[in-house]
Structures are given as C-alpha cells and as structure tokens.
C-alpha cells in the first residue's frame, strides 16, 4: 500500500507542455522577397569611422651619449647600423560620429598616448587629422574632433530599454579593411566585475567583436546606438562570442561632459563597499544593496553619519542591487550634488541627505599591507595577532588611516583558516568595536561570544568582511 501511495503521488506531478507544432512558416512567402536589415543599418554604418594612431617610441639605448661616440661606432662596425633607433607604433580602431560638425566618440584605449590620430570616413579614402577633445580612462571613453561639416551622426537609443534577446549589430573597422557588420543578440545586461574598466555596466553580446572593432557601434535592429564596443573575452585574441559594449546612456553623458568641460568630475561618497555575501544575508534579511566596509576620514558619508556595515539600499529613490550599481550611480552624479540615501542599520531603515564631494584623480589604494610578524594569541582558535606599530607601518607601507592588529599566524585547518583569515590581514573592527590592540580583539570576541560577529579586515587584496558564527 505504501508503494502504491508513492506511485500515485508521482503520477499526480504535471509537466507543462508546449502546444504541438501545427505549421512551419517560411520567412520568404514570396520568391522575390528577402529578410534584410540593410536599410535599417545603412545610416549607422555611415556614422562609423576608422581611427588609426601613430605613437613615436624612442629607443632608450640609442639616446645614450655613448651611442654617438665615434669610438663606439668604429668598435661595433657594421653592427652599429643594425641597432634600432626611434620607431613609430601604429594601431587601428573605430569611432562613432555623434555630431554633424565632427565630434567622434571612441574608446580611450584606442587613442591613449597617441602622437597623431587619423580618421577615415565611411566609403572614403580621405584622411583627417583629429584633435583629442577629452578622455576618461575610468570608463574607457574619449572624444575626438575632425574639421568637417555635414556629417551623418548616429542616433542614440535608451540603453535602459535594452533586453536580453534583442537583435543587435556590431559595426567597426577591424584590420583596416573597411566597415564590417556582424549580427548577434544581447546576451546579458548590467554586466560588471569584468575587470576591464573602473566603471562597468556592460551590455554583453555574441555579435563578433574583433580586434579593431574597439570604439565602434553596437546598434539595435532600427540602427540606433545602444553601446560602444570596447572588449572581448578571449584566450586567443579571437572572437568567442563574448563581447562587451559601454551602454549608450553612459556614453551620452560622458561625451557631453568631455565636449562641454574637457574632462569628467565625478561624485564621491568616500566609502568602501561590497555586495551582500551569503554570510551577511542573515544580518540584512532579504534586503539587497551595497554594504559599507570602510569610510574615508572627513568624507561626505562619514560627515553624514554613515557607519561601517550600513547597507545602502536606495539613492534618490533608485533601488541599489549591489556594490557595482552604487559605484556606477554615484560616479555618474556631479560633485556638490545632494542625494537622498536610504540605508539599513541594525535591521532598521534610515534616511539621510549627503552632499557629494569630488572623486580624487588618484585611485584609492587604502589596503596594500602584507606584514608578517610574530605576536600574541587571542581567544580564537588558530589565530595570532600583534599590535600595529610605526616600524611596521614604514616597513610595509601601511597608510596612516588604517588601524588595527596584524594577523601573524594562521594554523592550518584551524577555525581561523576556515573563516578566511590570512597572515598579513589587519583586523580593524568587530561589529561596532574598533580594534587597536590585541586586548581589544580579545574583549570583542568575549563580548560577542554567543553571537554572529562581523569582522572588518584589510588585506593585500582589498577590504573584506569575515563573519564568524
């Protein structure tokens, strides 16, 4: 009876079936009709240009005073004439016309450090020397200009309306053989963490993006720009169907600012952030956002009362899903702009107003220490720490704003190793308690002995949160 009961339950499970195919329809109902996107992409191809750059590279050896010494030349004889001197490096890329009077957007890496930028228009052999208007290495975008009028600029689409499965075309000038068009679909949107740019919110596509396509256009089936092709993921350098484009909304904002102001000034909160990890979910329930794991002294966030382990969930009413979204959103805002920040602290929702500062030009490198000293034990199995002193700071170049104790030993297979501690880590905070000496760590472990503990750690790979249960 028991087996029959189980069998009846199994028979009761339904699988959703698709309707049976009744008819197959050919896309060519008439023998004189073709499917084609030719008219849709015609204007877009006219807006894509070829960019070639020249960079003068000097041979350091040939510039040495000894190189021009007559004795040196006589001693080496015929070999002297074979020593390479200055050379010219050339590279190819693509760009997209965005105004009728000659403004062109491309990738920063296409024209970076170039001594000369040459542009060729579609279906033309004439070359124009371009002027660099502005560059932004953080987003890998740049604007150049040629002295020409009556050009055909591309139309911009709303990249926020792009959906996975949309038909797209990648247009560029790879290998300098003229315009090429490849077709594919949008494979993913809002892709970040690729490690290509500082600000990443890529549209991913399987349309072939080959060397030389960088800076070219990714367009929808109407011919409107949805992105600027920037990179491929490939072990061989060839196309493997994983290409990335910078969304048109980001391109539009940055290009306008480069043209109008010559550079980009970004908003700055002054926080280090991370995603809500599996270990941290219990602290925030089902909420998503960006977890604050560090604060710059006197930063806008610090002045507004934001604290470590606050979970930022909304900016100006816009929901934040992860750390990358917060970084991109703040990076697209201007300095001195006021924002409304909604965050969760101790499972309670709070709101504050923050006036953004200006993002410093230099990239933050707040955690590059990897000290290795022997020290005292605390109350966690397998973990030894010591006090961080001036000698260690100087020896390991630890920034003055980082305080804590240094992990000097982690026993193999211990609780400390399984938790993720490594030699050289700097333990800065346990829950709301700041750590300055080993005794502080002991007291913190004692105080939160029977509770989950969030531990703020600086490592050579950046800031991280370790949760002990």
Is 206 a known active-site residue?
A: no
User: To the nearest 10°, the Cα dihedral for 249, 254, 255, 258?
Assistant: 170
Is 140 a known active-site residue?
A: yes
Entry field: residues in the chain: 469
Catalytic position from the list 136, 140, 220, 425: 140
Is 124 a known active-site residue?
A: no
Q: Helix/strand/coil (H, E, C) string of the chain?
A: CHHHHHHHHHHCCCCCCCCCCCCCCCCCCCCCCCCCCHHHHHHHHHHEEEEEEEEEECCCCCCCHHHHCHHHHHHHHHHHHHCCCCEEEEEEEEEEECCCCCEEEEEHHHHCCCCEEEEECCCCCCEEEEEEEEEECCCCEEEEECCCCCCCCCCECCHHHCCCCCEEEEEECHHHCCCEEEEEEEEEEEECCCCCCCCCCEEEECCCCCCCCCCCEEEECCCCEEEEEEEECCCCCCCCCCEEEEEHHHHHHHHHHHHHHCCCCCEECCEEEECCCHHHHHHHCCCCCEEEEEECCCCHHHHCCCCCCCEEEEECCEECCCHHHHHHHHHCCCCCCEEEEEEEECCEEEEEEEECEECCCCCCCCCCCCCCCCCEECCCCCEEEEECCHHHHHHHCCCCCCCCEEEEEECCCCHHHHHCCCCCCEEEEECCEECCCHHHHHHHHHHCCCCCEEEEEEECCEEEEEEEC
Catalytic position from the list 52, 94, 109, 386: 109
Catalytic position from the list 159, 214, 384, 459: 214
Active site (catalytic) residues: 109, 140, 214
């Amino acid at each position: 009876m028991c087996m029959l009961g189980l069998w009846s339950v199994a028979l009761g499970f339904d699988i959703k079936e698709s309707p049976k195919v009744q008819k197959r329809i050919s896309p060519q109902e008439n023998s004189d009709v073709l499917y084609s996107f030719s008219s849709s992409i015609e204007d877009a191809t006219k807006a894509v240009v070829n960019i070639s750059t020249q960079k003068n590279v000097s041979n350091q050896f040939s510039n040495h005073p000894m190189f021009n010494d007559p004795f040196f030349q006589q001693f080496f004889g015929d070999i002297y004439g074979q020593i390479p001197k200055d050379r010219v490096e050339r590279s190819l890329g693509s760009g997209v016309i965005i105004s009728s009077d000659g403004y062109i957007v491309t990738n920063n890496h296409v024209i970076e450090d170039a001594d000369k930028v040459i542009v060729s228009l579609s279906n033309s052999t004439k070359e124009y020397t371009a002027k660099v208007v502005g560059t932004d290495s953080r987003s890998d975008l740049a604007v150049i200009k040629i002295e020409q009028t009556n050009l055909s600029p591309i139309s911009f689409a709303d990249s926020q309306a792009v959906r996975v499965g949309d038909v797209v075309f990648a247009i560029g000038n790879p290998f300098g053989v003229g315009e090429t068009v490849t077709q594919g679909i949008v494979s993913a949107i809002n892709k970040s963490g690729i490690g290509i740019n500082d600000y990443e919110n890529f549209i991913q596509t399987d349309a072939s993006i080959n060397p030389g396509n960088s800076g070219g256009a990714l367009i929808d089936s109407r011919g409107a720009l949805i992105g600027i092709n920037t990179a491929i993921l490939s072990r061989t350098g060839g196309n493997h169907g994983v290409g990335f484009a910078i969304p048109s909304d980001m391109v539009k904002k940055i290009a306008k600012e480069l043209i109008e102001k010559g550079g980009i000034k970004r908003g700055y909160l002054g926080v280090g952030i991370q995603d809500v990890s599996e270990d941290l979910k219990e602290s925030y329930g089902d909420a998503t956002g960006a977890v604050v794991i560090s604060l710059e002294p006197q930063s806008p966030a610090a002045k507004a009362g934001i604290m470590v382990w606050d979970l930022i969930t909304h900016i100006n009413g816009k929901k934040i899903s992860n750390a990358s979204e917060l970084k991109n959103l703040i990076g697209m805002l201007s300095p001195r702009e006021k924002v409304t920040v909604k965050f969760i602290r101790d499972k309670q929702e709070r709101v504050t107003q923050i006036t953004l500062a200006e993002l410093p030009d230099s990239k933050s490198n707040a955690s590059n220490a990897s000290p290795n000293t022997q020290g005292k034990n605390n109350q966690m199995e397998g973990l030894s720490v010591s006090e961080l002193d001036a000698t260690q700071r100087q020896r390991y170049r630890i920034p003055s704003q980082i305080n804590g104790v240094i992990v000097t030993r982690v026993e193999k297979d211990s609780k400390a190793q399984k938790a993720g501690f490594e030699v050289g880590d700097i333990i800065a905070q346990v829950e709301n308690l700041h750590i300055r000496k080993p005794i502080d760590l002991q007291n913190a472990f004692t105080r939160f002995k029977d509770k989950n503990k969030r531990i703020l750690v600086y490592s050579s790979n950046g800031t991280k949160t370790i949760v002990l249960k």
